Structure formats: structure tokens, C-alpha cells
Amino acid sequence: MFGQSLQIVDDCGLTHLHVFPYSPRPGTPAARMPQLAKAVIKERAARLRARGEVALLAHLAAETGRRRAVLVEKPGLGRTEQFTLTEIAGGAPGEIVEATITGHTGRALVARLAAAPGAGAHSCPEAGTEAA
């Protein structure tokens, strides 16, 4: 089953993994299953995290040179439509801006505002309000 977990990272292109060792809870069916040695659990968690790091770096590298819509969450930081964290100068929180991905930090994309005609910012209306 662990091998299948590693394979699914590759098959599905998963780039953001949250990995933590399982702790059996008394009274649950999983607590009655055979348990692995703590050293095996730690080693497998490390392998899965490493696989996720490789996938993330490949994703970030593949984005370089692409043009993406970025939702600015706060000054200097936003997310692409693929939910990839992006460092970007410009745009106000709540705006969706067109950006060109210029590189990455190993954790986030680095982007600059696109300068092509028709590129502009779009405001995201506040929840519960209608756009004008």
C-alpha cells in the first residue's frame, strides 16, 4: 500500500503533500491492525515527503515562462489558478492579475505583471455582494 501511495503522487501530479505519521486511536479498526515499527513509519514519511518535494520542484520549473492569472491575496503574494503560491509585485489584495512566471524560489513561483494589451486587473467581489 505504501508503494501505491508513492505511485499516486507521480500518477496524479500531486505537488502539495501534507505528510504525517499515523497514530492509532484506541477503539478504531485501524488500531486493531498490525502496526509498523516507528523507524519504518519515519522512513516512509520521509520518502513520501521527498517524493512531494521532487514533484513540487518539477511543477515550479515547468511553470517558468508561462502566463497565469494570479489572485493577489496580500501585497507581494498570490496564487495561480492551480493554487500555486506566487510572489508578485503589484496588484491589490482581491485582484486577479495577468502575470508572467519568471522563475521560482523552490517553494513559490516568482512572477511579474504582464504588459500585454488587454492585460488588466479584475476585482473579486466581496462574499455576499454582487459585482457591478
17, 48 in Cβ contact below 8 A? yes
Q: Can you tell me whether residue 71 is helix, strand or coil?
A: strand
Nine cell digits for residue 40: 519504518
Nine cell digits for residue 82: 492551480
Residue 59: count of CB within 10 angstroms of its CB: 17
- Go through the domains of the chain in sequence order and give each one's CATH number: 2-62 (no CATH), 65-123 (2.40.50.140)
Residue 68: count of CB within 10 angstroms of its CB: 21
8-state DSSP, 33 = S
**Chain position carrying cell 505537488:** 15
Pairing state between β 109-113 and 85-88: parallel
What pLDDT tens digit does each residue of the chain (132 aa) get? 899 999 999 999 898 899 988 778 888 888 888 888 999 999 999 999 999 999 999 999 999 999 999 999 999 999 999 999 999 999 999 999 999 999 999 999 999 999 755 545 555 554 444 443
42, 21 in Cβ contact below 8 A? yes
- pTM of the complete model: 0.76
